[in-house]
Homo-oligomer: A and B are copies of this chain.
Amino acid sequence: MPDHTSPADTEITLPRLLGALSDPTRLGIVRVLSDGAERGWGQLCAPVAKSTLSHHLKMLREAGVTRTRQEGTRCYVTLRREVLDARFPGLLPALLSAAVADHVGEHVTEREAM
């Protein structure tokens, strides 16, 4: 039973957040999640080994960027938009716009759920 706890809202620190988002693959994951909808682990399609993807999702979760929900053997990930917007107003939209404009994270795509 893995510990999928996300930090409390006030425990999200700016340096940690920025560190989590300084990786292109993680920025790509955030881009996929940016519409607010939940995605299954398996829907996240990145050109890395699954152990590496698991690592990235852990980084994002522990930095407070995402929330992970477990259901059976499957995991579902969402962006913690409300929390991030409340704590760092304007930051996430600016980051997403910048990532899109700069083609950062485009190697992470979404696979259709089956």
Contacts and interface: CB of A to CB of B under 8 A. Distances in A.
Nearest to A91: B94
Contact of A93 (B15, B24, B90): B90
A89 interface: yes
Contacts of A16: 22
Interface residues of A, number: 25
A32 interface: no
Nearest to A99: B14
A75 interface: no
- The list of the 4 closest CB pairs from A to B, nearest first, reads A19-B22, A18-B22, A90-B94, A91-B94
14 contacts: A13-B102, A13-B104, A14-B99, A15-B23, A18-B18, A18-B21, A18-B95, A22-B22, A87-B98, A89-B94, A90-B90, A90-B94, A90-B97, A91-B91
